[in-house]
């Protein structure tokens, strides 16, 4: 298809605006065509109004219909693969296998949510039957289930042009829940966004979803994003990005006359703790795995391990130096990430007590990030909060501890994280119950003898964590539980059968699992 650079407002495209921006190839610096037209305030208002109108109908579509809609989106994105991959590569410098893999993850998520809502038990249906003769007061018939919130605003991530963007997990889970979605495209990969948005728009028409079920706006700055979050008809926000950006959206949403939830994934250093037995037995193996994890995708994953707590080990350090020496500087996703990585790394290296173990110098810091391994002491880490900050890119810092007590002290000082990893022998782990207890309070996913990069998309995955990893540590942005973010529980008291949703009717026409008078069952009520 031919890219036009215009926003998607329901079934239509926006008109040309005076404010435009271009996408730049991060490898060559080439300006990519076409120019993209920032949406106007009128465009945004129309998109939200359409979404608000669509919610009345879309929220009531049967799960089978919504599931077919999600699978149609997936099919159309797959069909556009030959166009998406080269554009994504040109806009992000991500290699072709990564582009193909991310597309597979994106369509896989859509189909996963289609399966989830078609089966139906996710709604958490609960039924307590009436006891009219109960004394001293009768008990009413009460039935509850989860219902969609309303129109959702989704902000695309810079580091996942597909899987956390236009048709990514936020959009897939919101659409699955029955919520229309308005996406704010990321300016660094606007062409990829337009291709995916066209697939969704076609699916809306083909599946006869109400106009306004999906819109996508281009934005040259931040003002439209703020207006989107503060629009009274928006009921929730999904965001993946920096702590600064997420915090701004949280504050804007909280200041509304009607505050709304912002599900923001923001900042994580993903600490790794290497216990003495594991260090003694397999320091070289751990260092090799750590090198791969830190440099995977040029460190541009939110699960990149940025801190390694361990006792002193020449084997670990020497293996890391050797591994990093064999890793070339990589072109980062866009100039903003390159600038932040190199300035953040320089600031960290200038902190007292921080040594550079090995650094690959980048020939062009405006585009590239050189893999770097640093070292400091636990005492220094505990006394300098600047060492706790995330640096997004291919670097990590070893924090040498004298004993387990220093590890426990460091773990206690950590902010909320997406992941926390422990390497240990069976004996190490038996003696590390206090460490594991602390880390359980700090992270959304705990890993034993592995590495945090690689997020499996499945029902048991939790990709979340306490603030500032996310704005809501009780939720996840990956896995089937992500659908719960865009719903709320509603109780129906003394409703006649004809007015109840199918999920709550006595005969259980959906044949889903329900909690009936405290017992989980799929049987109909007698």
Active site residues: 265, 302
Q: What gap in Å lies between CA 350 and CA 347, rounded to an integer?
A: 5
Q: For the sheet with 443-448, list strands across it.
A: 355-359, 372-377, 395-400, 307-310, 272-274, 417-423, 443-448
User: If we measure between CA atoms, which residue out of 165, 172, 174 comes closest to residue 192?
Assistant: 165
Instruction: Please count the other Cβ atoms lying within 10 Å of the Cβ belonging to residue 378.
Output: 21
Q: What gap in Å lies between CA 401 and CA 309, rounded to an integer?
A: 7
Q: Are 148 and 230 in contact (CB under 8 A)?
A: no
Q: Which residues contact 305 (CB under 8 A, 6 or more apart)?
A: 269, 270, 271, 272, 290, 293, 294, 396, 421, 451, 452, 453
Q: Are 299 and 394 in contact (CB under 8 A)?
A: yes
End-to-end CA distance of the chain: 56
Q: Are 439 and 473 in contact (CB under 8 A)?
A: no
Per DSSP, the three-state class of 485 is helix
Phi/psi of residue 127, each to 5°?
-130, 125
Burial tier of 124 (Cβ tally within 10 Å: 0-12, 13-18, 19+): middle
Q: What gap in Å lies between CA 468 and CA 239, rounded to an integer?
A: 13
Handedness of CA 194, 197, 203, 204 (dihedral sign): negative
What's CA 83's distance to the chain center, in Å?
A: 25
Q: State the residue for tokens 């992941």.
A: 419
* Exposure class string for 301-313: b at 16+ Cβ within 10 A, else e: bbbbbbbbbbbeb
User: If we measure between CA atoms, which residue out of 195, 178, 171 comes closest to residue 79?
Assistant: 195
**DSSP string across 413-470:** H---EEEEEEE--HHHHHT-HHHHHHHHHHEEEEEESS-S-----STT-----TTTTB
Q: Are 331 and 368 in contact (CB under 8 A)?
A: yes
Q: State the residue for tokens 């307590």.
A: 128
User: If we measure between CA atoms, which residue out of 466, 408, 401, 398 comes closest to residue 433?
Assistant: 408
Name the helix (H) or strand (E) containing 229: helix 223-230
């Amino acid at each position: 298809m031919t890219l036009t650079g215009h926003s998607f407002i329901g079934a239509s495209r926006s008109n040309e605006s005076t404010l435009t921006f271009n996408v730049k190839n991060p490898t060559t610096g080439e300006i990519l065509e076409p120019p993209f037209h920032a949406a106007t305030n009128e465009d945004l208002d129309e998109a939200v109004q359409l979404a608000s109108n669509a919610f009345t109908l879309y929220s009531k579509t049967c799960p089978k219909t919504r599931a077919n809609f999600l699978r149609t989106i997936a099919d159309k994105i797959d069909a556009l693969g030959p166009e998406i991959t080269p554009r994504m590569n040109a806009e992000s410098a991500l290699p072709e296998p990564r582009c193909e893999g991310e597309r597979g993850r994106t369509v896989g998520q859509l189909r996963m949510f289609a399966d989830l809502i078609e089966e139906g038990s996710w709604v958490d249906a609960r039924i307590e039957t009436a006891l009219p003769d109960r004394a001293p007061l009768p008990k009413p018939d009460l039935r509850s289930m989860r219902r969609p919130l309303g129109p959702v605003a989704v902000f695309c991530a810079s580091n996942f042009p597909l899987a956390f963007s236009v048709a990514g997990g936020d959009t897939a889970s919101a659409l699955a829940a029955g919520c229309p979605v308005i996406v704010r495209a990321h300016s660094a990969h606007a062409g990829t966004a337009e291709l995916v948005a066209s697939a969704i728009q076609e699916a809306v028409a083909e599946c006869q979803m109400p106009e306004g079920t999906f819109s996508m706006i281009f934005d040259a700055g931040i003002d439209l994003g703020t207006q989107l979050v503060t629009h009274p008809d928006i009921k929730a926000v999904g965001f993946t990005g920096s702590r600064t950006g997420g915090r701004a959206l949280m504050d804007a949403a909280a200041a509304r006359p009607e505050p709304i939830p912002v599900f923001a994934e923001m900042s994580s250093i993903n600490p790794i703790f290497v216990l003495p037995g594991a260090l003694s037995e397999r320091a070289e193996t751990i260092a090799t795995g750590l090198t791969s994890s830190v440099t995977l995708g040029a460190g541009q994953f939110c699960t990149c391990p940025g801190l390694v707590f361990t006792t002193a080990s020449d084997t670990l350090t020497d293996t890391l130096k050797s591994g990093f020496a064999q890793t070339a500087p990589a072109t980062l996703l866009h100039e903003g990430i390159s600038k932040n990585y190199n300035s953040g790394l320089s600031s960290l290296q200038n902190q007292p007590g921080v040594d550079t173990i090995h650094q690959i110098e980048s020939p062009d810091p405006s585009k590239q990030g050189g893999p770097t391994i640093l070292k400091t002491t636990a005492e220094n880490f505990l006394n300098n909060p600047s060492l706790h900050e995330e640096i997004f890119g291919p670097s990590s810092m070893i924090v040498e501890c004298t004993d387990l007590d220093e590890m426990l002290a460091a773990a206690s000082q950590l902010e909320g994280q997406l992941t926390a990893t422990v390497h240990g022998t069976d004996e190490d782990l038996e003696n590390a119950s206090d460490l594991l207890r602390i880390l359980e309070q700090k992270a959304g996913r705990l890993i034993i003898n592995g590495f945090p990069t690689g997020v499996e998309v499945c029902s048991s995955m939790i990709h979340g964590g306490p603030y500032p990893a996310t704005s809501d540590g009780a939720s996840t942005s990956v896995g089937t539980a992500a659908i719960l973010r865009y719903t709320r529980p509603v109780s129906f008291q003394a409703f006649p059968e004809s007015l109840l949703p199918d999920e709550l009717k006595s005969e259980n026409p959906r044949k889903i699992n329900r909690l009936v008078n405290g017992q989980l069952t799929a049987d109909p009520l007698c």
